[in-house]
Structure 1
Amino acid sequence: MTEQLLKMGLIPKLSRDFEILEEVWGYHPIYDVRLRIDVFLRAKPHLIAEGFTNEWFGVECKWVEGINARTSKTTRLVWQSITYAQSIFEVNGSNVKPRFVAVFTPDNLSPSIERHLDTLLGLGLYGCVGKLYFYKDGSWGIKFASIYGRSSPDGYYISQKQLPKLRAGSV
């Protein structure tokens, strides 16, 4: 499977709850480079009413399969996502800094790669990076240290206290 197919499978699962923009261009002010994130999302009004942030956030998709050279790929994915969380993106003629960035990988990672990714996301939390995933019933979830938000057949769960604080310098 390619990253494009991974992304294309993601979009229909989120379209009920989020506005979706694909391949959004941005600029990293520290490194002075243009960049592009896979997906930019903003909660629709019904989800905002449940307590989800009304700010845009990013999703970076990465196909990871097997074990060989995958620790490097997942490390680069988290660093890429941290730099995206520090960037400014062009959305409908406005400059937008994402509230957070979530990584999205296949749900069948090797256990050692999954552990590695979880360890990296422990640091990623301080850079406003978390993980987007899906449950077997198709419901979505976004997790930082704990679950920030999720859908379910019965509605939504949002824990605003799990949304990471913006941090710079001594935390």
Structure 2
Amino acid sequence: MSEPALKDAFVRDFSGDFTIHKDIPGESLVEGKPVVIDFLIKPKQHLIDRGFDNDWIGVEVKYLKSYKLGEVNALAWQALSYAQSRFNVGSMQVRPMFVLMHANLSLNLQNAKNKGIPDDSSGVISFVERGNVGWIERDPKYTWRIGFGSHGYFNIKYGRAAIATLGIKRNAGNVRC
């Protein structure tokens, strides 16, 4: 599956649960440079009723050939930079609550060794969690789920996970904002 096909599949698979805006321009808060994120999504009311935070979420989609560090680094860095950006949605400027990586390979670190995710790539996926970057994936058991590192944030079957600040707590230096 190509990256454009992966993006089309994302819209098809998630549009029942999220309002999806594609190719949204914005600006890096750190560098002041223009950026464009693949998707900004917002949960629909039935998810909010089940505990999903009612805020904007960024999604960066990448087709990965493998779990090699260079590929995972590129995706993670792009997502992290978007978590530190503002985007234009109509007349509003929004900073995503968090940014999710979506790929053809699972980025969920539960059972990472069994999935063949090398330690260095696992470390990167775990590290960017502190920068409000997680993953979203289709899952046969849960239909779909969102998580950060090896922790679940929300799945369509059970709703919001117990860790209240997972993914949404901001960090700056050694301070949790």
TM-score between both structures, scaled by the size of structure 2: 0.85
Please say if 1:15 is aligned against 2:12. Answer: no
CA distance in 2, matches of 1:29, 1:38: 18
Structure 1 match to 2:64:
64
- How many residues matched? 166
Give the C-alpha shift of residue 112 in structure 1. 4.3
Higher mean alpha-carbon deviation, 107-116 vs 70-79, is at 107-116
Match of 1:139 in 2: 143
> Secondary structure of 2:72's partner?
helix
Measure the CA separation in 2 of the matches of 1:62 and 1:107. Answer: 9
- Answering whether residue 151 of structure 2 is matched by residue 158 of structure 1, we say no
Relative distance call for 1:64 and 1:86 in structure 2 (3 A) is same
**Match 2:130 to one of 126, 141, 144:** 126
1:107 is displaced (CA, Å) by: 3.2
Conserved? CA contact 1:11–1:20, under 8 Å: yes
CA distance in 1, matches of 2:119, 2:4: 24
> Could you tell me how far 1:62 is from its partner in structure 2?
0.6
Cα RMSD of the aligned pairs, angstroms, is: 2.1
Structure 1 residue aligned with 2:101, among 96, 100, 103?
A: 103
Unaligned runs of 5+ in 1: none
CA contact (8 A) 1:126 1:164 kept: no
1:115: Cα distance to partner? 4.9
Unaligned runs of 5+ in 2: 108-113
**Residue of structure 2 equivalent to 1:78:** 76
Alpha-carbon deviation of 1:52? 0.3
Q: Supply the AA of the counterpart residue of 1:163.
A: G
User: 2:168 aligned with 1:168, yes or no?
Assistant: no
SS in 1 for 2:27: strand
Task: Name the residue aligned to 1:2.
Answer: 2
For the structure 1 residues 96 and 108, does the alpha-carbon distance in structure 2 shift closer, same or farther, using more than 3 Å as the test?
Answer: closer
Tell me the equivalent position of 2:153. Answer: 148
